[in-house]
Structure 1
Amino acid sequence: MGVFYNNAICDIYIGKSAGAKLMQDIRNAKRNVKIVSPYLSPFLIKELIDLHSRGINIRLITSDEIEDFYGYDKNIHKLIIQHKHVDEKAKETRDSLVSLSGTLLFAMIGLGVVLIPLIYLLNNFKFAYGFILIALMFFVRDSVVKKIKRTKVYHYTYKQLFPFKVFVSPNSGNSFNKTFIHSKIYIIDDEIAYMGSLNFTGSGVKDNHETRIRTSDPNAVSKIIEEVKEIFYHSNLVERDVQFWGSQLYEEPDN
């Protein structure tokens, strides 16, 4: 990874609200938006979700230092879609066990209702032996209920709403990853590129004193696109697995 390009034609901005023009260009995108930003804010993730819903192709590279992990507005979670799959054979087995459990419970209650009046009305405690049968049915039903709980009817897979990479930060204590993707790169419609200090966060685009350049120089944009593609596909950095991550974000009832 790495690129050098000389004599690019670009606009330079330094100061607050460095992201005003950037956000305008992103919202006016006609085909695609590519973003590299180690930090993200939830409401800006929502901007990407809205763009995706309009048919704009999104590609995102970020880190697990996302603000969204620590706040209440969990838009990053909306980027991972859960699919629930049914094991029909297991479901059939589970349903049969549930039916058997219900039958045993009904039989236990029914037998108890019959035995108690017989004991007291006939004053014959021999009918109390019937409670041995109830006890046996109780243990059988308990075994059935445990088997129901062990029967997994559903399993889950996850997919991304649009292509994105979440690289594991060296700050996480991962000894295999010493490189932190700290770049901030924005490409709109493969025609406009931004680079600078501003993250895709509220403070970055509005409040902080930031630096950024904007270029529509075709050669420069082409070089930047290639670098983003290299990071996305060939970085060899440790990244969050969407299947594991999804399992942490969503509940996964077994049956």
Structure 2
Amino acid sequence: MISFSPRRCGTLLLFSLKTKAKTILLWCIGLFCIMFLYMILFPSMKEMAQMKFDAMPKELMQFMGMESMQDMGNYMHYFGMIFQIWLIVISFFAASFSGGLIVQEEKRKTIEYLYAMPVSRLDIYFSKVAAAFLAALAVVACTGLSAILCGMAVGGETYDAGQLLLIVKLSGFIPFFFLAAAFLFCGLSASFGASAANGCVLVLYLLGYLGAILEKDGEWLTYFSPFECFSPQKILSEDWSAPAFGVYIALFFVLIALGACFYHRRDFR
């Protein structure tokens, strides 16, 4: 049996990145530009916040990650509101992209070519994990960079680079959690892995949203949702939990490891 080799894994990683370079680049450019467009309009949003928008339903403000319309007048709170929405988009990207790396190989039968080469299942699996990780990292980084540039230009006194980077680092972990979930599901089955991962994104977001609406009665639901546990608003208010973050980090590695086990076992079926 061929054992795992970091060198072969690296070669496969470069191949995966080369074949997916266009997709990654388009996502990076797209989210950079859209985030830039939203954030550069901050001065206009600040003026709108001074108008009478208090009639906006509380549930809609919670969906957008705001406590009041006055948040629109603070660059960091405005960024948190926009970034919260983009985290959902990036999480769907991470789940779909990760699942697609394995699913498309099997659907196109190119996986049979890889099996014929002197590589192990673990070489293939971890090269896909690394490719997905770098893709998600690039998309999150481009989104954060766009906000930083706009903050320097129009953020004024309410812009805090250190706080923004902290939000990008902590809240930006959310897509990586769903990346790991996608590899677990695809390790179990290529037929439903990607769709199950996307469903997981939606379900966990709705759980967090429901918990936020129910407040004290549904607070326990928020712990099952990384969207709520590590929302930009909680980080801004220093209300996030370091132990909870540690648990989700541990879950990330557990999901990746379980996905590797299930994917490797498919060699013997």
| TM-score calculated relative to the size of structure 2 | 0.26
Higher helix share: 2
Q: Which has the higher contact order (CA 8 A, sep 6+)?
A: 1
Higher strand share: 1
Higher-Rg structure is 1
